[in-house]
Chains A and B, each alone.
Chain A
Amino acid sequence: MIAVHPVLLIAIPLFFAFLLPLIGLFSKKVLKYVVTGTIALNTIIALLVFREALNSPIFDILGGFKPPLGIVLMVGPLGGFIALIINMAGLIISIYGMEMKKEPLVKYYMLSLLLLMGANGMVLTGDLFNLFVFLEVTSIASYGLAAYNKDLKGFEGALKYVILGSIGSTFVLIGIALIYSQLRTLNMLDIATRLNEMDPYVKIVAFTSLFLGFGVEAEMFPLNTWVPETYDGAPHSVSAMFASMSAKAGIFALARVIFTIFAFTNYLWFVVIMGVLTVFFGEIIAYAQRDIKRMLAYSSIGQMGMILMGLGIGTTMAVEGAFFQMFSHAMAKALLFIAAGYMIYATQTEKMSEMKGIGRNPLIGIPLLIGILSILGMPPFIGFYGKFYILMGGFSEGYYAIIALFLAASLVEVAYYARFIKIAFEGGGKRYPSPKATVYIPLLLFAVIIVIFGVYPKPIFEILSHVTTFLTGGV
């Protein structure tokens, strides 16, 4: 018997999302508290699920039919960890989301709850087709949220996202069709054990299709052209959600396709190359950006590429680094997007060159600095461990050329963030309105997490020691 059912992580947001329109009929003011309360409840459940998953993987059988006949949720330590990160980030972002003023608010809250639910489902499910369904839940919620501002920029970004997202989901379905036609099953572990019954060529095509399909959500080159415009056009809280929730769910789905389902060890070079291309594409173009949100979006692509590289190198160390990077990037990038939201609001412009002295207010400046340093991989913050472990992993595998490229990209990253820091802390700027509680509380919370686990990363490494089972096809 399971003490806490992981399915609650999906059922609770769904239930409240269906309930919100009814609540909205009576009072629109309580909506934001209901949403934050729901996500807080979800975070507590995620914590309980995660604690239980650390001991042994949880299989939550749905409908009472044993897999592969029914759908099963399977939560290992790593899945529980990612789910916890997603819910935690969602909780903190929802505090910032309370500030949202643009109507229709009910729909905004419904969409954001369902985005959380979809991301949770993508991380927890153990069934390939169910993964596709949750991928669609996540991406359709994202399409709606991306166009929420209802201006030209928002619509353009959303349209790009819809087009690439549909191509991605077509590829996922082709992959599923290929696998199903040869094995007549959809359960991930069932597929993994019977993989050798498949024709080798069909296997590679199926892998490539799934890889490309989930690559859209995971911001992989060349399917990531939607990222800058969508992040730029979306409301600020939504950009933070994309970076910390849906992108993380996407990359974890990708990791499970690579390791849990296919366990391809001799095609990992392909993943590394895609990762390096993604890093380069992101970082180089980020350098040329003048708008803060576009720069952050491209930087997000670069970071996702680093995670992909870590997964592709495939040693225990590198994959640990990749998971650490998922954690640090989710926290730091959400922080930066929220800070960017405040800065755009305070300066009335997106141009970085006009944000002189915005960081002089310590309530903004300190978290901003912490977030940027963590993204850059400076030692006392969590961003350091991810990058360091990926590098060391690559070093031990002899990917020297790749490491050189990685370091070069990191230098570019340092250059453009340093440029921004210089402007933000320069004297002689205007006086800006000081941030509201809904802005600085999330910023400080993220900053505290970044510092605490940066100074004391031991608990995270204990969780990540389960990477060894993950790499050998465990849950």
Chain B
Amino acid sequence: MKRILGGVIAVLIFIVLALAFVHIPFGNIDLAEYHYYNPVDNEHTQDSVPQHYLDEGKKETGSTNIVTAVVVDYRGFDTLGEVTVLFLASTGVGSIMYIFEKEKRRKVRRANAVVETASKLLFGFIILFGAYIFVHGHLTPGGGFPGGAVIASSFLLLYLAYPRFHAEHKNLNIAESLAGLTFVGVGILGLFLAGYFLYNFLPFGLPTYLFSAGVIPVIYVAVGVKVGSELTGIVDAMMGVRE
């Protein structure tokens, strides 16, 4: 019964959406054609949003990577929300797994010597790589989120290799909070200095240099630390049981 219902609903949705997407060109588009309207000044322009980002992004934000410019600067508020969502997830998982922390850890076999040694060796390098990704977020593909995920994966490796390993919750919480406060603090500082929340108030510097793009690297470092500690916290909570 449920299968028939599910099938009918699925087919219906497929048909409706497929008919809609037939109207949408794939690839054959000129981004400059979509002229936007500015509701604050009430004017119709001859500019298009994506084309503006591509043409002026480097000048307006100092970031070579336009996607980073969009993520952290033009639509930085979305990223703040996104960071909050991840923070919520780690808080929620921690809250839900709370009761299970007291339980006895089930018996686990030790990993063999190769895995233990290799993970010990790799741990530092993976963290370094993660840090590299988020520090260079404004220059190369990547940024705070992938970098943080890489850092969390190094901890995951330790969890897999050493069944008794667990990251100190208190330290994770402190890192998470400080990184979050940095992000919001940068936003509020922008509000006080320039009148715009999340305003890019630091000098842009020379494009393609490490110290460029104003607050973008600052925010991405905070995001990287935050994502790393949060994902580690989620992994830790999911592993659950602790003596």
Taking the complex as formed, is B96 at the interface, i.e. its CB lies under 8 A from any CB of chain A? yes
Query: Which residues of chain B come closer than 8 Å to A72, judged between CB atoms?
Result: 39-40
Query: Which residues of chain B come closer than 8 Å to A130, judged between CB atoms?
Result: 75, 77-78, 81
Taking the complex as formed, is B121 at the interface, i.e. its CB lies under 8 A from any CB of chain A? no
Among B111-125, those with CB < 8 Å from A are none
Bound-state CA distance A62–B88 (Å) is: 23
A143 near B38 (CB under 8 angstroms)? no
Taking the complex as formed, is B129 at the interface, i.e. its CB lies under 8 A from any CB of chain A? no
Taking the complex as formed, is B144 at the interface, i.e. its CB lies under 8 A from any CB of chain A? no
Taking the complex as formed, is A133 at the interface, i.e. its CB lies under 8 A from any CB of chain B? yes
Taking the complex as formed, is B236 at the interface, i.e. its CB lies under 8 A from any CB of chain A? no
Taking the complex as formed, is B188 at the interface, i.e. its CB lies under 8 A from any CB of chain A? yes
B177 near A7 (CB under 8 angstroms)? no
B187 near A11 (CB under 8 angstroms)? yes
B19 near A144 (CB under 8 angstroms)? no
Among A67-115, those with CB < 8 Å from B are 67-72, 74, 103-104, 107-108, 110-111, 114
Query: Which residues of chain B come closer than 8 Å to A126, judged between CB atoms?
Result: 39
B10 to chain A, nearest CB (A): 12
Query: Which residues of chain B come closer than 8 Å to A17, judged between CB atoms?
Result: 84, 87, 180
A14 to chain B, nearest CB (A): 5
- A1, A69, A183, A194: residue with the most chain B Cβ atoms closer than 10 Å: A69
Instruction: Please judge, given known A-B contacts A111-B88, A133-B82, whether A63 and B200 are in contact too, CB under 8 Å.
Output: yes
Query: Which residues of chain B come closer than 8 Å to A147, judged between CB atoms?
Result: 92, 95-96
B198 near A63 (CB under 8 angstroms)? yes
Taking the complex as formed, is A291 at the interface, i.e. its CB lies under 8 A from any CB of chain B? no
Among A289-313, those with CB < 8 Å from B are none
A14 near B95 (CB under 8 angstroms)? no
B177 near A19 (CB under 8 angstroms)? yes
Query: Which residues of chain A come closer than 8 Å to B187, judged between CB atoms?
Result: 11
Which residue from chain B places its CB closest to the CB of A114 in the assembled complex? B88
Query: Which residues of chain A come closer than 8 Å to B37, judged between CB atoms?
Result: 68, 189-190, 193-194
A110 to chain B, nearest CB (A): 5
A110 near B24 (CB under 8 angstroms)? no
B20 near A107 (CB under 8 angstroms)? no
- B24, B49, B91: residue with the most chain A Cβ atoms closer than 10 Å: B91
B170 near A25 (CB under 8 angstroms)? yes
B181 near A66 (CB under 8 angstroms)? no
Residue in contact with B91 in the complex, picked from A11, A117, A144, CB distance below 8 Å: A144
B16 near A205 (CB under 8 angstroms)? yes
Taking the complex as formed, is B107 at the interface, i.e. its CB lies under 8 A from any CB of chain A? no
Taking the complex as formed, is A462 at the interface, i.e. its CB lies under 8 A from any CB of chain B? no
B91 near A110 (CB under 8 angstroms)? yes
B34 near A183 (CB under 8 angstroms)? yes
Taking the complex as formed, is A153 at the interface, i.e. its CB lies under 8 A from any CB of chain B? no
Query: Which residues of chain A come closer than 8 Å to B53, judged between CB atoms?
Result: 69
Taking the complex as formed, is A322 at the interface, i.e. its CB lies under 8 A from any CB of chain B? no
B173 to chain A, nearest CB (A): 4
Query: Which residues of chain B come closer than 8 Å to A148, judged between CB atoms?
Result: 95
Among B86-114, those with CB < 8 Å from A are 87-89, 91-92, 94-96, 98-99
Taking the complex as formed, is B199 at the interface, i.e. its CB lies under 8 A from any CB of chain A? yes
Proximity bits, A186-216, B CB within 8 Å = 1, else 0: 0101100110000101100110000000000
Q: A21-B173, A114-B91, A201-B20 are in contact. List 4 more A-B contacts (CB 8 A).
A: A21-B174, A25-B173, A114-B84, A193-B39
B residues apposed to A, CB below 8 Å: 16-17, 19-20, 23-24, 31, 34, 36-41, 48-50, 52-53, 60, 73-78, 80-82, 84-85, 87-89, 91-92, 94-96, 98-99, 170, 173-174, 176-178, 180-181, 184-185, 187-188, 190-191, 194-200
Could you list 8 A-B pairs, sorted by A, with CB under 8 Å?
A11-B184, A59-B40, A64-B199, A65-B74, A104-B94, A104-B98, A183-B34, A189-B37
